[in-house]
Chain A
Amino acid sequence: MAPRRAWLTHVLLILGVIAFALPIWIVLIGSTHDAATIGRGEVPLLPGGHALENYRTAWGAGAAATAGIGVGSMLWNSMLMAVLVAVGKITISFASAYAVVFFRFPGRMLAFWSIFITLMLPVEVRIFPTFKVVSDLGLVNTYAGLIIPLIASATATLLFRQFFMTIPDEFVEAAKMDGAGPLRFLWDVVLPLSRTNMAALFVILFVYGWNQYLWPLLVTTTADVETVVIGMVKMIGSEANTEWHIVMATCVLSLLPPVAVVVLMQRWFVKGLTETEK
């Protein structure tokens, strides 16, 4: 490419990168200053000296609005939710896709379509009736109530189905010759071959679980099962006495895990994402 065009490209890309990095930078810096500095609205651009105490406070005690529940326990809840949603979805989707692809039985297409059609019902749309079911089952304010309704997903099932269709028939035939039954084939061949897809799905679903907002807002009313995203928004609920330095520290803490997962697993994630949803 001509150098004259190249620098323009670089400038535009750097502007794009800044547009995403700047807010994070401000929060990161803000989280190292004390409440007074931020309250005066000075918006520092260089780190201050209160990082350790801000994070310690956030981690252990949280803000006044969270009634003494620390971000540490919220992070644990978020982590639990994200991991269980991801692992749960992957497990049940893998199993159901395997059944639909590698067997032929009456009602197979009915089962597939009833899973498929749930694509059309995002959790937000059926939120109150779902909440009612969860509360009828006595699952409000439990991890089970928080996680299980989010676990059934057509997307993961579709991805696995699509991938299983690309496994050559000859593999199944060779397995039959070798005397491997369906479970053995699942374990010895399909599972190892699906590793990349699982990694990609894990990233997507971890982020999905971590970033849930409306559902946890409804299902959790006590602080002990509250996730960090909810907790943080609660902190800014009352404008007057918002402890901005704690909010900023919480914000950074709430960002780190999903960002780390995406960046570290970027290679599988991008491949998986574009293949899942197309």
Chain B
Amino acid sequence: MERKTVFRGMTLPALLLLPQLAITIVFFFWPAGQAVWFAFLRQDAFGIRTSFVGFENFADLLADPLYLETAWNTLVFSVSVSALSLSAGLLLAVLADKQIRGAGAYRTLLIWPYAIAPAVAAVLWIFLFHPQVGLIGRALNAAGLDWDYRLNGGQAMLMVILASAWKQVSYNFIFFLAGLQSIPKSVLEAAAIDGARPVRRFWTIVFPLLSPTTFFLLVVNLVYAFFDTFGIIDALTKGGPAKSTETLIYRAYIDGRVNLDLGSSSAQSVILMLVVIALTAIQFRFIERRVHY
């Protein structure tokens, strides 16, 4: 991965690198380092004295049943969102990849939701499921179901999962479609000549060949569900009712912003960093293995 021929000089490359390196150091490494440092500190109630408390912030968190519940919620939420949006994206991609009329139009109509902000997606879902002004929400209540996601924790969770998955489908669709289109036609033709029927062809040839895409998307979707859904949760439920839809990132925000508990919030940030680093590391190991095949 090295070029044979390069230019000489030191000053020009240094100048070219400078802006990005400066921003990276000021806004990435410095804050990340501070997050780690704060995680070991605790301020008194008046914010006057700060003392070093070692791993106490972490220990408190891991001993806090509410934090563990939030972690569990996050897991349920993230896995559900990923599973839903991945399968919907894959199904639509397989359909749109077929040689049918209007395939191009379908693609465009399924790609544009990529542009919707998570917070905007949440607002759209309010208009669908709000018990008073939402089309479906009213219909559910009219049908005798007691639907109000603002009061019922289970319904709230369902709502944020669906809205979050909905927003991510088009992203997965784009990647699955690209993955499908990169499968050589000759492989499928060979399978057809071998006598495999379409469904069998999909599960024995197409799906295994898509597995790098699927794995990549799984990691991206998990990261999305962990962090980018903040806007959806904040707009839809604010973590409620009774913390039933609070995820780890939402709690870190609340503890830092509302409760002004910088130590705990930083410790939570560090835990989240470790989660992302683990996910990324897994992904890179996988990609590297794939390269060696």
Contact = CB atoms under 8 A, between A and B. Distances in A.
**Are A and B in contact, CB atoms below 8 Å, in the complex?**
yes
Contacts, number: 278
A239 B134 CA distance: 13
A270 B20 contact: no
B92 A16 contact: yes
B180 to A, nearest CB: 11
Contact of A12 (B95, B118, B134, B174): B95
B133 A41 contact: yes
B166 interface: yes
A149 B115 contact: no
Nearest to A24: B124
A68 to B, nearest CB: 21
A120 B108 CA distance: 31
A236 B114 contact: no
A262 B115 contact: yes
A210 to B, nearest CB: 7
Interface string A80-114: 00000000000111011011111111001001001
Interface string A240-278: 000010011001001100110111001000100110011
A247 B130 CA distance: 14
A23 B27 contact: no
Contacts of A278: 216
A13 B92 contact: yes
B190 interface: no
Given A103-B6, A213-B119, A96 B17 contact: yes
Interface of A is mostly: helix
Interface string B172-189: 001100100000000000
Given A126-B28, A128-B265, 14 more contacts: A1-B100, A13-B96, A23-B128, A26-B135, A103-B6, A125-B227, A125-B273, A129-B30, A129-B35, A129-B38, A129-B266, A233-B235, A251-B120, A274-B174
Interface of A: 1, 6, 9-10, 12-13, 16-17, 19-24, 26-27, 30, 38-39, 41, 43, 91-93, 95-96, 98-105, 108, 111, 114-115, 118-122, 124-130, 132-134, 148-149, 151-152, 157, 165, 169, 172-173, 176, 181-183, 185, 207, 210-211, 213-214, 217-218, 229-230, 232-233, 236, 239, 244, 247-248, 251, 254-255, 258-259, 261-263, 266, 270, 273-274, 277-278
A-B CB proximity, top 10 nearest:
A211-B117, A129-B31, A213-B231, A99-B13, A258-B115, A99-B16, A23-B124, A152-B23, A129-B34, A274-B178
15 contacts: A9-B98, A20-B169, A99-B16, A102-B3, A103-B13, A119-B280, A125-B269, A128-B257, A182-B7, A211-B119, A217-B234, A232-B123, A233-B234, A244-B133, A277-B175
Interface of B: 1, 3-10, 12-14, 16-17, 19-21, 23-35, 38, 88, 91-92, 95-96, 98-100, 102, 106, 108-120, 122-128, 132-135, 138, 150, 166, 169-170, 174-175, 178, 216, 220, 223, 227-228, 230-231, 234-235, 249, 252-253, 256-257, 262, 265-266, 269, 272-273, 276-277, 280
